[in-house]
Amino acid sequence: MQLSIIIVNYNVRHFLEQCLLSVNKATANITAEVFVVDNDSTDDSLTMVREQFPEVTLIHNKENVGFSKANNQAIEISKGKYVLLLNPDTVVEEDGFEKCIQFMDAHPNGGGLGVKMIDGNGVFLPESKRGLPTPSVSFYKLFGLSNIFPTSKIFAKYHLAYLKENDTNEIDVLSGAFMWMRKSVLDEVGHLDEAFFMYGEDIDLSYRITLAGHKNYYLPTVKIIHYKGESTKKGNINYVFVFYNAMIIFSKKHFAKKAKAFSFFINIGVYLKAFLAILGRYIARLKLPLIDISLITIALILFNYVKPYVGFPNQIEFTNEYGILNVLAVFISFLIGIAITGGYSKNLSLKKTFLGVFIGAALLFSINFSFPESASFSIKYLVSIIGLILTVIPISRLVLDYYEKIKLRKETVKTTIIAGSENFIESIKKDILKKQPSVNTLALKKNNTANENDSKKYIGKLHQLPDLISIYGINEVIFSPKDISYKDIISKMDLSKSRHIDYKIALNSNLIIGSQTIEKY
């Protein structure tokens, strides 16, 4: 047995199906066994594996035992010369495993192997090659120094950013998304440390491999898609705590002398990141009130500056006691008025804003008249301020609404390339236009052969995809893996990488999978 492939699954049924389809093709010319360890998923992952992939060895846990323990369950009964820990939200090339076997056979000192990973936009994932997260390296990453000095051999060690992404190199740490290891080395150094429930276990095992005198390699000639985070949902504050707690466990285990100081700085950094994340959310919610405060401030400063020239010579000064109270009254009145009418809700409403400003004006008049006449704004001054605010705040909403519509138009008016057989293209095109009539759909021929009628049916051939994306301003590309190999799909994504392009792959079960969406067709 050449290879044992182990996939730990937790509620990512469709990604798992796509992963297993690509694994089936990649194991066609080698002897391999495939394990799926399910951590008590509540979707129909188990049924799907049993029905569609009966050759897979399925281990069903009655609870979520974590990534490390789940992998160890399969490692203990694996029989392959090599063991691959593979995330379910990945897609592999047809000849990828063969290349890995050839490389490791040619490098007997190799204990582990990582490959080039790209995300659903074709963008290179820096965790494909990583350095050892010593306390200093982790500190540089956590506090952003690795981003400020991305090519520094001192500050950018975490992702070894000074090494070229397309060069084969020795590395310190393998990614848990694709962790290829020699079984004899695994038996020598021990399996995954189950103290790591999620994250950090790959770093710990990689380090133990190198401590035992073996090398870890990065092989960029093998590429995979990793829909980063679909199996773990990384985009939340909890992820920050879990990830850096794993770093603390790793530090205590391997750098005991420095662990206390490291834990202190890590905790500061984690809580700082969490605070900034929460602050960012609140700032987003307070966008409209902050805009209104800025506009009112500008209006008051403007009137204070021009009042001697426009008939307000006896108006009170903003700097005295009642002047400050009057200024606060202006802010409070309009902010409360707009808030009462729902003018600060997520969806912009010009009607609610107008009504809120009028209520604010009424509140301001009431408050102003409660002050002594000598310490309040004159009627003329008050009306002028209200008139200006009645103008600038609604105008600000009109401007924001205009830009929101432009943004929405850019998001909804898409140009999509569909690559595959003629039947596949027509089926997907029909479904897209039914849901989104404004989408421009363009057909791409699945191969590079030429026929007379090609120019009428297709805009080009598969090898022209990078140029076509640039020429037509493509937002989305949909591939048929029945007609185009995973190797070609991954290669084209790698060549045409962009955060503005969504690459999607069709599934046998009438689904289209992308990094952010799973759609029926």
Of the candidate CATH numbers 3.10.129.10, 3.90.950.20, 3.90.550.10, 3.40.50.300, the domain formed by 3-227 belongs to 3.90.550.10
- Residue range 226-254, pLDDT digits in tens: 997 544 444 455 555 555 665 666 666 66
Please report the pLDDT score of residue 318 as a whole number: 53
251, containing H or E segment: helix 237-254
Burial of 215 (0-12, 13-18, 19+ CB in 10 A): middle
The answer to whether 363 and 341 are in contact (CB under 8 A) is no
Average confidence (pLDDT) over 498-512:
86
Q: Whole-angstrom Cα distance, residue 452 to residue 168? A: 43
Q: Whole-angstrom Cα distance, residue 241 to residue 478? A: 36
pLDDT at 512 over 70: yes
The token pair that represents 406 in the structure block: 């432009």
| Residue 64 phi, psi (nearest 5) | -80, 105
Residue with tokens 């994306």: 469
Percent of the chain with pLDDT over 70: 82
Please report the pLDDT score of residue 310 as a whole number: 60
Q: Whole-angstrom Cα distance, residue 50 to residue 320? A: 79
User: What is the pLDDT of the chain when averaged over all its residues?
Assistant: 84
- Residue range 69-98, pLDDT digits in tens: 999 999 999 999 999 999 999 999 999 999
Q: What is the DSSP letter of 53?
A: -
How many CA atoms does the CB half-sphere of 269 hold within 13 Å? 21
In 3-state terms, what secondary structure has residue 224? strand
- Residue range 255-279, pLDDT digits in tens: 666 556 656 766 676 667 667 766 7
Asked, colleague to colleague, whether 3-227 and 413-520 share their fold, the answer is no
Tell which wins on pLDDT, 380 or 250. 380
- Residue range 50-73, pLDDT digits in tens: 999 999 999 999 999 988 999 999
- Residue range 118-128, pLDDT digits in tens: 999 999 999 99
Q: Whole-angstrom Cα distance, residue 20 to residue 507? A: 11
CA angle 236, 142, 115 (to 5 degrees): 80
Q: Whole-angstrom Cα distance, residue 76 to residue 63? A: 19
Please report the pLDDT score of residue 187 as a whole number: 94
Confidence band for 434, pLDDT divided at 50, 70 and 90? confident
Please report the pLDDT score of residue 234 as a whole number: 47
Please report the pLDDT score of residue 52 as a whole number: 95
CATH superfamily for domain 413-520: NAD(P)-binding Rossmann-like Domain (3.40.50.720)
The token pair that represents 468 in the structure block: 């076509």
Q: Whole-angstrom Cα distance, residue 352 to residue 100? A: 62
Confidence band for 517, pLDDT divided at 50, 70 and 90? confident
Average confidence (pLDDT) over 90-110:
98
Of 241-255, 301-315, 348-362, give the range with the top mean pLDDT. 348-362
Q: Whole-angstrom Cα distance, residue 91 to residue 413? A: 29
Tell which wins on pLDDT, 197 or 54. 54
pLDDT at 509 over 70: no
**Ordered alpha helix ranges (H), 341-420:** 350-369, 379-412
Residue with tokens 């399925």: 58
Please report the pLDDT score of residue 225 as a whole number: 97
Q: Which of 354, 115, 111 is nearest to 212 (CA)?
A: 111
Confidence band for 375, pLDDT divided at 50, 70 and 90? low
Please report the pLDDT score of residue 199 as a whole number: 66
Residue 451's contacts (CB-CB under 8 Å, 6 or more residues apart) are none
In 3-state terms, what secondary structure has residue 49? helix
**Ordered alpha helix ranges (H), 413-504:** 422-435, 454-457, 465-472, 486-495
Please report the pLDDT score of residue 308 as a whole number: 66
Q: Which of 111, 86, 112, 104 is nearest to 225 (CA)?
A: 86
Query: Where are the domains positioned within the chain?
Result: 3-227, 287-410, 413-520
The answer to whether 131 and 157 are in contact (CB under 8 A) is yes
Confidence band for 145, pLDDT divided at 50, 70 and 90? confident
Please report the pLDDT score of residue 436 as a whole number: 77
pTM: 0.74
Q: Whole-angstrom Cα distance, residue 347 to residue 374? A: 42
Residue 255's contacts (CB-CB under 8 Å, 6 or more residues apart) are 134, 135, 262
The answer to whether 205 and 96 are in contact (CB under 8 A) is no
Q: Whole-angstrom Cα distance, residue 494 to residue 473? A: 17
In 3-state terms, what secondary structure has residue 256? helix
pLDDT at 109 over 80: yes
Q: Whole-angstrom Cα distance, residue 276 to residue 287? A: 16
pLDDT at 22 over 60: yes
